[in-house]
Amino acid sequence: MAKNSNTYVCQSCGGVSSKWAGKCEACGGWNTMVEEVASVGPSKSLAGGKSSSGKKSKGVEFVELQGTSTPLPRRISDISEFDRVCGGGLVPGSAVLVGGDPGIGKSTLLLQALAKLSQKYNCAYVSGEESIDQIRLRAARLGLSDAKLHLAASNHVRDIVATLNAHDAPDVIVIDSIQTMFTDVLDSAPGTVAQVRLSSQELINAAKKHGSVLLLVGHVTKEGTLAGPRVLEHMVDTVLYFEGERTHQFRILRAVKNRFGATDEIGVFEMSHLGLQEVKNPSALFLANRSADATGTAVFAGMEGTRPMLIEIQALVAPSALGNPRRASVGWDNARLAMLLAVLETRAGVGIGPNDVYLNVAGGMRVNEPAADLAVAAALMSSLCDEPMPEDAIIFGEVGLSGEIRPVSMIEQRLKEAAKLGFKQAIIPTMQEGKTMPSANSYGGLRLTQLRHVSELRALFGQISQQKRGDAVGQKPPLKRFAG
């Protein structure tokens, strides 16, 4: 007969220990070990081929790889940014996990999406954090009082699973949030690793059995990762992160895992008094307040998943009054900024050492791709020499440690987006051998300048300075030199 024994489970990684410890040996987290009751029984071998009831187990049924499968139908919410991140819509029988900081707008977005879906499907919203009256008040503020939604305030997994197993189970159901759900099979409190894991497993199995779309809301830790066991991200089909600053009106929905679509896809929303409004052309919005003659700025043509986006990179190089100059960046990796500054010092002869360096990605965006290296370098040089970049130019390219500028992927999509928004020239890496240089007519007359080494970018700034001064006095002055 099975007996109960107490174990200690890490609430960050799910590591199990037989005794309490202040530090988890698996992940190194402090004060994360919580006592839980686990059922321990005699070990049984699976080699006998019989289950615990004495019945002989059946073998796995295999099918041939060659065959036809019907395309998976999608349930479209008519919120194009949300559908784009989900891969074109919600797949029946799938489980989607939506994570984000408290107050970022997760519940608001899902309530708006559910209101749209309720026009065509049977939809339900189950909240373990708010009462029904609170949900109705929020729906009234968003203008969704007439939506055909079914509401429930419950955190009992057994009751929710019984609803999903019924013949009239909802086609789409939202669980807000998974950390508040609990099952009476376990004695641990809601939000613990065991409760989150078992509750998620029961809900996902019930949803897949009926073909319902399950949308789980997940809390995040102070490090920005989803709270609870990491196995939760493996159990679901799609993981979405809702990013953005509370004080900023823009919100970004990012897909980090999707079994039915592309990963690293993003959707851009703007917070308003009517909730989250989708931004159909984020490039134009991010560049709306850009100053044409400002120094220290460069327009980067980036890619977020399959979507090209033009983003303004801002840099400020200022004399430092400290012994150790500051290096601060918002929206870009600090370590990559330090590496790029070292390359500019060593390979291009740009003396930035005694100055403070501040870098910002406008619009609250976060840029992760290496293709932004050349745009950051251009913004730094522009601020250092006090010469603005051409207002009609975009720039992108990866910078290596030897100073070489490496080609990047999806060049055509970046250039087409720039031409669509009225840009006239582009500074890009040198094309690889065997690839022809695209003509200017291919992208609405966009003039292309190819660079092979980061030192050529410094010379380009000198040419810009000469051209501006020559136009003013009718002659070309000597090349302006950078500090150092």
Secondary element (H or E) of residue 194: helix 193-210
Q: At 482, is the pLDDT very low, low, confident or very high (cuts 50, 70, 90)?
A: very low
pLDDT of residue 477: 37
d(CA 178, CA 185): 16
Task: Please choose, from the candidates 124, 205, 105, the residue with its C-alpha nearest in 3D space to the C-alpha of residue 169.
Answer: 124
The tens digit of pLDDT for each residue in 140-174 reads: 999 999 999 999 999 999 999 999 998 889 999 99
Task: Please choose, from the candidates 362, 369, 379, 259, the residue with its C-alpha nearest in 3D space to the C-alpha of residue 311.
Answer: 362
Please give the share of the chain, as a percent, with pLDDT higher than 90. 46
Stretch among 132-146, 222-236, 318-332, 384-398 having the lowest mean pLDDT: 222-236
pLDDT of residue 436: 60
Average pLDDT over residues 187-204: 87
String of DSSP letters for 92-151? TT-EEEEEE-TTSSHHHHHHHHHHHHTTTS-EEEEESSS-HHHHHHHHHHTT-TTS-EEE
Q: Say which residue, 175 or 282, is predicted with more confidence.
A: 175
d(CA 429, CA 168): 58
Separation in Å, CA 71 to CA 66, 92, 121, 207: 15, 12, 20, 19
Q: Say which residue, 436 or 16, is predicted with more confidence.
A: 16
Looking at the predicted structure, is the pLDDT value of residue 111 above 60?
yes
Task: Please choose, from the candidates 105, 154, 104, 87, the residue with its C-alpha nearest in 3D space to the C-alpha of residue 96.
Answer: 87
pLDDT of residue 465: 47
Secondary element (H or E) of residue 308: strand 307-319
pTM score, two decimals? 0.73
Average pLDDT over residues 298-325: 90
For the four alpha carbons of 386, 392, 396 and 399, in that order, the dihedral sign comes to: negative
Dmax over CA atoms of the chain, in Å, equals 98
What letter would DSSP give residue 156?
Answer: B
The tens digit of pLDDT for each residue in 58-106 reads: 778 888 888 777 777 899 999 999 999 999 999 999 999 999 888 888 9
The tens digit of pLDDT for each residue in 183-193 reads: 988 878 888 88
What CA dihedral angle connects 108, 112, 113 and 114, to 10 degrees?
Answer: 100
d(CA 356, CA 23): 38
What class is the 284-473 domain? alpha beta
pLDDT of residue 123: 96
Vertex 101: Cα angle to 149 and 94 (nearest 5): 50
d(CA 328, CA 325): 10
d(CA 225, CA 394): 33
Please provide the size of the chain in residues: 484
Stretch among 280-289, 436-445, 447-456 having the lowest mean pLDDT: 436-445
CATH 3.40.50.300 matches 80-280: yes
The tens digit of pLDDT for each residue in 261-279 reads: 888 788 889 888 888 999 8
**DSSP three-state, residue 272:** strand
pLDDT of residue 215: 96
Residue with tokens 């291009």: 348
* Burial call 218-254: b when 16+ CB within 10 Å, e when fewer: bbbeeeeebbbbeebbebbbbbbbbbbeeeebbbbbb
